[in-house]
Structure 1
Amino acid sequence: MAFFATLYFAGLRPAEAIGLRETDCALPEEGWGLLTLEVTRPSSGKQWTDSGTVHDQRGLKQREDRDVWPVPIPPELVRILRAHLEEFGTATDGRLFRNERGGVLGASTYARAWEEARRLALTPKQVASPLAGRPYDLRHAALSTWLNAGVDATVVAERAGNSVEVLLKRYAKCLDGRDSQINRRIEAALET
C-alpha cells in the first residue's frame, strides 16, 4: 500500500519509488514531509544494465547525474510511510520497498498486487475498463489532481520531475469542465 501511495500522493514514477530509501525521507510527526530523491531503479533486463541485474541504479530521469529532486509530501503520505517503516523496516541497503526475499521490488510483483487490488476495490465493469489499469496511472491521477486543484503548472512540473511542456501536452485534457471556475477567476481579476 505504501508503495502505491507514493505514486499517488507524491506523483513518483514506479522506478523512483522502488529506489526510495529511508535516508531520502523527512517524515515529521505532524505536517508536510519531504522526499529527496537521488536514484531511480528502472527495470531494463539483465542484458541491458551495466550491473548485469534486472534493475539498474541510475540518476533521476531528465536530470543531471548526482542531481537531487525534492518532493514535498502531504501529511497523509507521511503517516503512511511512517507506519510502513514501523511495520516492515527497510531492506539491508535502506530501501523502503522490497520483494519477499529483500531484493528489488519487481514490476511483475507490484503489477500482480495492483491487479488484485483493482479486483477488490472496483466493480466488475470498472475492472474490465482501462480505469486505473496500471500502477503508473496513480502518477497520472496525482498530477491531474494537482492541476485541477489549481496548482500552477510550473509547480506541478517541478514536483513531478517533468518539463512544463511535457506536463501540459500530456495533462491539458484533464482540465476540461472548468470553464465556469476559470470565468469567475478572470472576472475577479478584471474587477480589481
Structure 2
Amino acid sequence: MAVVTDDESFLLSDRQCFAILDWTAEQPQNGLVLRAFLASIALAALQPKEALVLRVRDVEVADDGSGVLLIHAQEQALDRRGREVAGAGAARRVPASTQLVAILKTEITRRDLHPDDAIFVLDDGRPLTASVYREVWRQARAAVLEAHELDSPLGGEVSALRDACIAAWLKNGDQTAAHILAVAECAGMSAPRLTERFAHCLRKPTPDEIPWDRLEAALRLPDLPSWPSPTAHRP
C-alpha cells in the first residue's frame, strides 16, 4: 500500500473517514453502493479486493444487529494439466459493527439481492471495478481533505480506510498479546507484520507498569555453590 503507516500523522482520522463516506453517498450515480463498499473497508478493515467479491450469503447478522463477514481466501490449486485454478480456501470471520450491518442490509434490500448475489454492483448492473472506485476515491479525497493534506500521502489510496480501521482496533483494546493476535486474524495478516506496520499504534508501558521485580527475578543469576576453601600446605 502506498499509504505510510509508520507515522500516525499519515492515518486518516475518524472524521475524515466518515466525511468521505458521506460525500460518496451524496453522489447521484452509484453513490449508495460505493458508500457501502467503502464502509466495508473502513469499518471491517477489508482489503478492497476482498470487499469486491462479498456476497449476500457472506453476511451473518446477529440478534443485536451486529454481524460477521465471511471472507473467503482464494487458494491456488493445479488441475490435471498442471494449470493454476482458483479454489475457495477457509473463510476468515471478521466482526461487523451494527453500523456496517445496517448499511449492508440497506443496500441488499434496496437492490432486492439474493444470497448468491454480489453486494457491490453499479446502478446499471455492471460489476464494481477497481478503476471505478479509484476514480471516486480520488474525487472524494479532493472534496474532503484540506489543500495541504492533498499534497501529502494522507489517504493516497482506498486502502487508507483499512489502515485507519486497523489502527483504531489496536488503540481501543488492551494491547495484550491475545488482543494483537485477534486484530491480526481479523485483518488477515500475521501478528509480526501487524506490529511492524502499526508499531506507532502500540502503547508503550510507563515505568510504573513494568514489573521490575519479576524482571529482576527472571534475570537473576543462580547462586553459586559455596565450596570449602582449600587448606594451604607448606612445602
TM-score in terms of structure 1 length: 0.74
Q: Which residue of 1 aligns with 2:171?
A: 148
What are the within-5 Å matches in structure 2 for residues 90-169 of structure 1?
Answer: 90=113, 93-150=116-173, 151=175, 152-169=179-196
Provide closer, same or farther for how the CA distance between residues 159 and 2 of structure 1 changes in structure 2, counting only shifts above 3 A. Answer: same
What are the within-5 Å matches in structure 2 for residues 12-23 of structure 1?
Answer: 12-23=46-57
Deviation at 1:130, TM superposition (A): 1.6
Whole-Å separation in 2 of the counterparts to 1:92 and 1:104: 16
Gaps of 5+ in 1: 41-49, 52-57, 60-64
Whole-Å separation in 2 of the counterparts to 1:185 and 1:83: 49
Provide closer, same or farther for how the CA distance between residues 9 and 92 of structure 1 changes in structure 2, counting only shifts above 3 A. Answer: closer
Where relative contact order (Cα < 8 A, 6+ residues apart) is larger, the structure is: 2
Deviation at 1:173, TM superposition (A): 2.4
Deviation at 1:187, TM superposition (A): 6.7
Whole-Å separation in 2 of the counterparts to 1:115 and 1:106: 15
Whole-Å separation in 2 of the counterparts to 1:24 and 1:103: 20
Deviation at 1:91, TM superposition (A): 8.3
Whole-Å separation in 2 of the counterparts to 1:130 and 1:39: 29
2:58 equivalent to 1:24: yes
Task: Name the amino acid aligned to 2:139.
Answer: E
2:206 equivalent to 1:183: yes
2:197 equivalent to 1:170: yes
Deviation at 1:39, TM superposition (A): 5.2
Contact 2:43–2:96 (8 Å) recurs in 1: yes
Contact 1:19–1:39 (8 Å) recurs in 2: no
Contact 1:2–1:84 (8 Å) recurs in 2: yes
Sequence identity (%)? 33
Q: Which residue of 1 aligns with 2:217?
A: none
67-76 vs 85-94, greater mean Cα deviation: 85-94
Whole-Å separation in 1 of the counterparts to 2:115 and 2:124: 11
Match of 1:36 among 70, 75, 80: 70
Whole-Å separation in 2 of the counterparts to 1:32 and 1:161: 20
Contact 1:6–1:17 (8 Å) recurs in 2: yes
Whole-Å separation in 2 of the counterparts to 1:136 and 1:157: 16
Deviation at 1:99, TM superposition (A): 3.2
